[in-house]
A and B are shown apart, each in its own frame.
Chain A
C-alpha cells in the first residue's frame, strides 16, 4: 500500500480540516471552490499530462454539466440525480463523437480545435437565452439530497465535494499505474512508437478524452447545485486557460501536481484581493515564468529536489 500512502495522508488532511476548523472561511467557503478546481485540474491532467493532448476548452464540459443540471431540474422538473446522469450521458456522446476527429490533430491544430469548441459552447450559453437564460444565467436549483439527507449547508457540501475530489484523485493515481496509464504515457512519449508497440493510440486517446470530459461534467453538475446558480461567465475561454495554468503550474503529468496547482491558483485571488487590479498581470507572469524556467512544474521539481537531497544524505551516511 506504499503506493497510495501519499493519497491516504492527503485524504486524511482534507477530511479532518473542517473538524478542526469548523467555522473557518478558508476551509468551508474557499475550500469548496478549491475542491471543484482540483477535480477539474486532475481531469484535465489526464488528458494533457498523461496523454500529452493539449485542451484549451475544458471549461466547456464543466459548463455542459452545470447547465444540464440547471435546465433539466428547473425547466423539466427532473430529479437532480437523474438530471446529472442525463448531463453525463449527453457529454459522453458528444465527447465520444468529437474525440476522434479532434484528437487526430496535433500541436497548434489541436489547440485551435479545443479552443474553438470551448468558445462555441460558451457562445451557446450566452445566446440560447430561452434555454440557458442568456448572460444572466439560471438560479434557484433544487437542493440535492443524498440518502434522504438534504445537502444544504457549506459543511455538508464540503464533504460531498471533498469526496468527489478524492475519488477523482484516486482514479487518476490508479490510472497512471495501470495498463491504460502506461499506454497513455507511451502515446505521450511518441505516438508512432506507441503504435509500433501495438497500442491502438486513437482508442486510448479517445477514451481518456471521454473520461476527462465526464469527470468535469459531473463536477459541473455538483458546482451548479452548490452555487445554486449558473451563468456563462463561469465557463468561459478564460476559465479553460486558468485550468491549463493549474495543471502546468503543478507539473504536467503529476496528479498531485494538478492538486497543488489548483490549490495555489484558487487561493491566490483570495490572497491577492488587496491588489485586485494586479491579478491578471500576476496570473500571466506566473504562467510565463513557470513555463520558461520550471517547465516540469512546481510540484514535480520540488519532489525531484527532495529526492536528490534524500539520496545524497543516504550515500553520505
Chain B
C-alpha cells in the first residue's frame, strides 16, 4: 500500500510534466493541424538555457523567465521558418519537417552546450516530507503545483481572453476566422510561442528532479505525444488528463513489472489505445471528408 502511494506520487510528478508537454502538442495541433515532433526539444532548450544563464551569474527566477522567453522565441522561429513556408504540405510532410526541426535543434544544443548532463537546484529546500511510509520531495509538490497553475492559466486564456478565443476560431476554420478579421498568421505565431513556453516551463520544473542533457527532450516529447493521443488529439484538457494517466500507469507498471521496461509500457499502452479506440479516451470519433 505504501509502495503504491510512493508510485502514485512519482507517477503524478512525471505525469504532470507529460501533461504540460501534451498540452503544448494539442495547442499547436489545434491551431495548425501539425503534430510538432520538436515539442520535446522545447523542454530541453528551456532547461538548458536556464542552467547556462545561471552559470553566467543570473539569479534563479531571472534565468528561468529568460529561459522561457528564449524558448518561446525558438517556437516563433519554428513557425516562421519551417511551418509557414510549407503551407500546403501533407500530414506526412509536416511530420517529417518537425522531425527535421527537432534533430536540428538537438544538433544546435549539442554544439552550444555539449554532451554533459546538468541539473538545476530545487526551487526550495530539499528535505523529504513523510506521508505514512512514503516520502515526497518539495520539488515534487512544486511540479504538481506549477503544472496545475499553468494548466488553469492556459484554460483561462482560451476560455476568457479575446486572443485565446481567436486562436480557437482559427482551429475550427481558418478561412472563416480570417473573414471575421482575425489575423490568422499572428495567431499561429502566438500558438507556437505559447506551446514552446509551456515546454520550457515543463523543463524548468522537472530538471531539479531528473537532470537534463541535449538529447533528453526526445523521450519527453514522444511521451507528450502519447499523452496527447491518449487524451484525444486536439482536446487540451484531455491531453492534460492523458499526461497524468500515462505518468501514473508508467510508474506503477515500472514499479511492479520492471523499471527497464518503463518506456516500453507507455508505448504499449498507446498501441493498445490506438488499436481499440484511436480517438483517445476523451476524443470524439471523427468522420473523414472525401
Contact = CB atoms under 8 A, between A and B. Distances in A.
Contacts of A13: none
A111 B96 CA distance: 10
Contacts of B256: none
Contacts of A112: 225-226, 229, 270, 274
Nearest to B111: A277
Contacts of B288: 192
Interface in B4-52: 35
Contact of B222 (A104, A115, A252): A115
Contact of A281 (B89, B99, B111, B278): B111
Contact of A284 (B92, B101, B274): B101
Nearest to A121: B264
Nearest to B214: A280
Given A116-B271, A280-B110, A109 B278 contact: yes
A158 B264 CA distance: 37
22 contacts: A54-B95, A106-B91, A108-B35, A108-B233, A112-B229, A113-B271, A123-B260, A123-B261, A123-B264, A127-B258, A127-B260, A127-B264, A190-B290, A245-B100, A280-B106, A283-B103, A283-B104, A284-B101, A284-B104, A287-B97, A291-B100, A292-B97
A203 to B, nearest CB: 19
A107 interface: yes
A305 B130 CA distance: 71
A30 interface: no
Given A126-B260, A278-B107, A284-B104, A52 B274 contact: no
A176 B164 CA distance: 48
Nearest to B106: A280
Nearest to B102: A284
B86 interface: yes
Contacts of A279: 107
A11 B86 CA distance: 37
B246 interface: no
Main secondary structure of the interface of A (DSSP, over half): helix
Among B97, B99, B233, max chain A CB count under 10 A is at B99
Contact of A280 (B107, B225, B229, B233): B107
A283 B82 CA distance: 15
B271 A285 contact: no
Contacts of B268: 116, 120
Interface residues of B, number: 43
Interface string A247-291: 010001000000000000000000000000111111111111101
Among A54, A108, A111, A241, max chain B CB count under 10 A is at A108
B95 A287 contact: no
Is the interface on chain A under 10, 10 to 19, 20 to 34, or 35 or more residues? 35 or more
B100 A111 contact: no
Contacts of B101: 284, 288
B261 to A, nearest CB: 6
A104 B274 CA distance: 10
Interface in B79-101: 82, 85-86, 89, 91-93, 95-97, 99-101
A105 interface: yes
A120 B107 contact: no
Given A120-B264, A284-B100, A287-B96, 6 more contacts: A108-B95, A127-B264, A284-B102, A287-B103, A287-B104, A292-B82
Contacts of B97: 287-288, 291-292
B93 A291 contact: yes
- Sorted nearest first, the 7 A-B pairs with minimum C-beta distance are A284-B104, A281-B107, A287-B100, A284-B103, A280-B107, A288-B100, A116-B267
Interface in B115-164: none
B108 interface: yes
A117 B264 CA distance: 9
